[in-house]
Structure 1
Amino acid sequence: MSDSKTPLNSKNYVKWFRNSAPYINAHRGKTFVLMFGGEAVAHDNFANIIHDIALLNSLGVKLVLVHGARPQIEERVALRGINSQFEHDLRITCQQTLESVKDAAGSLRSQIEALLTMGLANSPMHGSQIRVCSGNMVIAKPIGVRGGIDYQHTGVVRRIDSLAIQSHLQDNAIVLLSPIGYSPTGEVFNLSLENVATQTAIALQADKLIAFSDKPGLLNTEGEVINNTDISTVKQLLDNSSDLQEQVLMRALINSAEKGVERCHCISYQEDGALLAELFTRDGSGTLIAQDTYDQMRTACIDDVGGILELIEPLEANGTLVKRSRELLENEIDHFTVLEKDGMIIACAALYPYPQEKLGEIACVATHPDYRGGERGLRLLNTLQQQAAALGLQQLFVLTTVTAHWFQEQGFIEGSLSQLPAKRQSLYNYQRNSKIFAKAITG
């Protein structure tokens, strides 16, 4: 047996594969738009990205690939002896430059299609039988004259033929779009990668836009990857960025998120497996940008007691939650985290730590009926897990009578009364007969 197949490695692989199952199920049938520039296509790791794209397709993910071609266009422009002209990071496309654009885009499209068609034995693509569809699915119009500058054959997306794309996706084909658009009058326009990717994601109401970058993700001022963030933070990063490529990418992420794409990701095209790690592991590999919900998550204060009571009283009435008096809630308010929207408490949850046993109890997870379905409960649970980890706790537990299935979906495993701290065991209500679930804290 070779070293790569030792029992330890096999166990690690099985554990990883099992842990990825919830993500496989969650992504099946969803629509992802992948955006990558010509730099990514030219990188040595692009072949690995293609293999991972093939795997996503085999797992039932609907994929639209949007590629750029700037460095390849630059090569062809230079060979033709044409001086590149840019305004506001947009290429001014004369007729000669347009020929270079069509040449570069067509060549890259053929290269990507060939890679996706490859099915050699002993390769990750063996048996994949992927169909790739491309064509005139991007309708464009000229930018025209702006600020006295005639952009000539540079255009913007006028419309995405979403019906045609959806038809191909329903047939389990991968759709490949180039940074070129066509007008109803038969003209060809040079488009920006981010314009095509963003408008495609919006038109398809895609579940994700995944943008490939030369960096491992969006970085903070210390150069560290930001794992999770929101649109407002990305806007702050954009304001402080001097990197033109980074600015373009962030504008695409912001625009997509603001127009309804719930999850946007920024990952590295240089890191092997970054795409799979981002989609199928809890920690991911890059940056996840969640759509702004205008919800403010914060530690609860005494002024929130009334709002929390109003939120949990219906759940107390039907037996889902244990009844809490105002006095008890006031005394325990520091344990609560809330989501507030326009001054209204729309969700809450509490963490009760038992430091000596390194355990923490999750309690009183509640979301207003009008705001369910937006993963607010999961956001609160993840926040409380981070709080527990910061306190040095090693395991969370919850007592529930109604929502056992939801906690199981979040990785909790049914346990027994003996697993609880002695103090909590003494308070167990046998009449309610709550089920006990526990989860180890990771990360």
Structure 2
Amino acid sequence: MVRERDAVLVSAFRHSTPYVNHHRGSTFVIMIGGEAIADENFNSIVTDIALLQSLGIRLVLVFGARPQIDNQLAQAGIRSRFHKRIRITDSDSFRIIKQVCGGLQLEIMSRLSMGLVNTPMAGARVNVVSGNFVTAQPLGVDDGIDYCHSGRVRRIDTQGIEGQLNNNAVVLISPIGFSVTGESFSVNAEDLAAQVAIHLKADKLIAFCSNQGVVGHTGQVVSELFPEQAEECLAQLEAQGEDSSGTARYMRAAIKSCRAGVPRSHLVSYREDGSLLQELFTRDGIGTQIVRQSAEQARRATIDDIGGILDLIRPMEEEGILVRRSREQLEMEIDLFQIIERDGMVIGCAALYPFPEEGMGEMACVAIHPDYRNSNRGDRLVAKVEEQARLQRLQKLFVLTTRSIHWFRERGFEPVEVADLPVAKQKLYNYQRRSKILMKSL
């Protein structure tokens, strides 16, 4: 029997490698809400968490228990009361809350410690550690309402957590904090996760919600938001009466952590199998990330970008779309290039070769990765090159192309003759290649 090569698997594995290398040694705080724990997909989430740990990622898990607590309180005949979205935790409620949180803590530890038989992580050894890493204080009285045993985070034992992470352990944190007076308090799990991420200076805060991130007006998932944009989305959720939804709660935590220095916060669905891995190990992800700085940047190229540019343009050179350039040539001309970088990968490039005596410039080596051509990235590169040309006081910009004639014409370039080129370029024109010449006034 001849086995067929799985091209999709090979391609996916190769494309994930840069992210494996990038994430190794990073610290991720993962918020797992009670809804995720109760979902039938939770076993798969546990498997994926174990996989992350095996790849050298330092993990802190913060879990919540809202639906489980609501259910147990209802069964005990205790009405859940809230003030400003915060649970009022009297003594009877707190007794049940501690039981629920203790039970979930043991359940999560057992799931991560069972050897993961009959899973992709069979035989893995995951060391899970819990402890009194969270110091809490009471919320007190607000508007005449006594929150009783509801508290807020006062301090995070970062040294203790770091020590366990350095020992290759997964740290599991319960939404119960302990005070210096020996009391304990129920704390908001989302806020706790944000505080842990902030104090640890984590690389990522990851949360699970029912939707695959933030869904926009068109019904599509919004892949990236800045904190200001996330606040607008949050305001819309609150206006729709969804201020206590999982998405809203996690967005508040993500916005808070992002503003306090956590580079990226991710929202993914706990319902869809593999969402966590697809979000972390693919260029476009699957959920929503809230970022301080966009994952995609248009900038001037540096010597460190040569390898990425070569990977991008080589297939087009082999097809005859672009003129072949050697690494040595690129090293000498790298200052002429503009690139678009996404998560450390060069997905677009273009160069400006100036002919200042005649007030002209050539835009050359224009390339966009095949996965990103159905977007405005080509326009961004043209705009960057035109900007550089104007800074150099050039009046005209020209291109030589064999395949993209209409694309450039749609952007204001008009056909011209060889005689219209700068004299130095006329001498280099390849009549066998017969490239079309298009020019644009700036």
State the TM-score, normalized to the length of structure 2.
0.69
Kindly indicate whether residue 14 of structure 2 is the aligned counterpart of residue 13 of structure 1: no
Offset of 1:227 from its aligned partner?
Answer: 1.1
Give 2:274's aligned amino acid.
G
**Residue deviations 1:108-164 (CA, integer Å, cap 9, x gap):** 111100110111543223221100001100110011111221101000100110100
Kindly indicate whether residue 337 of structure 2 is the aligned counterpart of residue 364 of structure 1: yes
Offset of 1:375 from its aligned partner?
Answer: 7.4
Q: Which position in structure 1 is the counterpart of 2:139?
A: 143
For the residues of structure 2 that align with 1:113 and 1:428, how far apart are their CA atoms? 72
Matches within 5 A, 1:68-147: 68-119=64-115, 121-147=117-143
Matches within 5 A, 1:308-327: none
Give the 3 Å change call, closer, same or farther, for CA 113–238 of structure 1 in structure 2: same
Q: Which position in structure 1 is the counterpart of 2:374?
A: 389
Contact 2:16 2:281 in 1 (8 A): yes
Give 1:44's aligned amino acid.
E
SS in 2 for 1:13: helix
Matches within 5 A, 1:283-302: 283-291=284-292
For the residues of structure 2 that align with 1:96 and 1:297, how far apart are their CA atoms? 54
Offset of 1:262 from its aligned partner?
Answer: 0.2
For the residues of structure 2 that align with 1:219 and 1:421, how far apart are their CA atoms? 35
Q: Which position in structure 2 is the counterpart of 1:273?
A: 274
State which drifts further: 68-77 or 221-230.
Answer: 221-230
SS in 2 for 1:140: strand
For the residues of structure 2 that align with 1:142 and 1:261, how far apart are their CA atoms? 26
Give the 3 Å change call, closer, same or farther, for CA 145–380 of structure 1 in structure 2: farther
SS in 1 for 2:31: strand
Give the 3 Å change call, closer, same or farther, for CA 275–366 of structure 1 in structure 2: closer
Offset of 1:380 from its aligned partner?
Answer: 8.5
Kindly indicate whether residue 234 of structure 2 is the aligned counterpart of residue 261 of structure 1: no
Give 1:390's aligned amino acid.
S
Give 2:4's aligned amino acid.
P
Kindly indicate whether residue 228 of structure 2 is the aligned counterpart of residue 232 of structure 1: yes
Offset of 1:15 from its aligned partner?
Answer: 1.7
Q: Which position in structure 2 is the counterpart of 1:38?
A: 34
Structure 2 unaligned regions, length at least 5: 307-319, 326-333, 351-366, 382-400, 406-417, 429-442
SS in 2 for 1:390: coil
**Residue deviations 1:40-63 (CA, integer Å, cap 9, x gap):** 000000000000000000000000
Give the 3 Å change call, closer, same or farther, for CA 77–365 of structure 1 in structure 2: same
For the residues of structure 2 that align with 1:172 and 1:429, how far apart are their CA atoms? 63
Give the 3 Å change call, closer, same or farther, for CA 153–60 of structure 1 in structure 2: same
Contact 1:212 1:268 in 2 (8 A): yes
Offset of 1:381 from its aligned partner?
Answer: 6.8
Contact 1:54 1:130 in 2 (8 A): yes
Give 1:73's aligned amino acid.
I
For the residues of structure 1 that align with 2:110 and 2:426, how far apart are their CA atoms? 63
Give 2:338's aligned amino acid.
V
Give 1:111's aligned amino acid.
E
Contact 1:264 1:288 in 2 (8 A): yes
**Residue deviations 1:394-429 (CA, integer Å, cap 9, x gap):** xx9xxxxxxxxxxxxxxxxxxxxx9999999x9599
Say which one has the larger Rg. 2
From 170, 174, 198, the equivalent of 2:170 is 174
Offset of 1:389 from its aligned partner?
Answer: 3.2
For the residues of structure 2 that align with 1:296 and 1:24, how far apart are their CA atoms? 19
Q: Which position in structure 1 is the counterpart of 2:152?
A: 156
For the residues of structure 1 that align with 2:344 and 2:158, how far apart are their CA atoms? 30
CA RMSD of aligned residues (A): 4.2
Contact 1:257 1:292 in 2 (8 A): no
Give the 3 Å change call, closer, same or farther, for CA 74–26 of structure 1 in structure 2: same
For the residues of structure 2 that align with 1:392 and 1:216, how far apart are their CA atoms? 25
Give the 3 Å change call, closer, same or farther, for CA 119–427 of structure 1 in structure 2: farther
Give the 3 Å change call, closer, same or farther, for CA 392–145 of structure 1 in structure 2: closer
Offset of 1:11 from its aligned partner?
Answer: 2.4
Contact 1:133 1:173 in 2 (8 A): yes
Contact 2:140 2:147 in 1 (8 A): yes
For the residues of structure 1 that align with 2:160 and 2:278, how far apart are their CA atoms? 31
Contact 1:118 1:125 in 2 (8 A): no
Give the 3 Å change call, closer, same or farther, for CA 55–419 of structure 1 in structure 2: farther
Contact 2:213 2:269 in 1 (8 A): yes
From 179, 202, 208, the equivalent of 1:212 is 208
**Residue deviations 1:247-282 (CA, integer Å, cap 9, x gap):** 211111100100000011110000000000001111
State the TM-score, normalized to the length of structure 1.
0.69
Offset of 1:379 from its aligned partner?
Answer: 9.7
Q: Which position in structure 1 is the counterpart of 2:193?
A: 197
- Report sequence identity in percent: 41
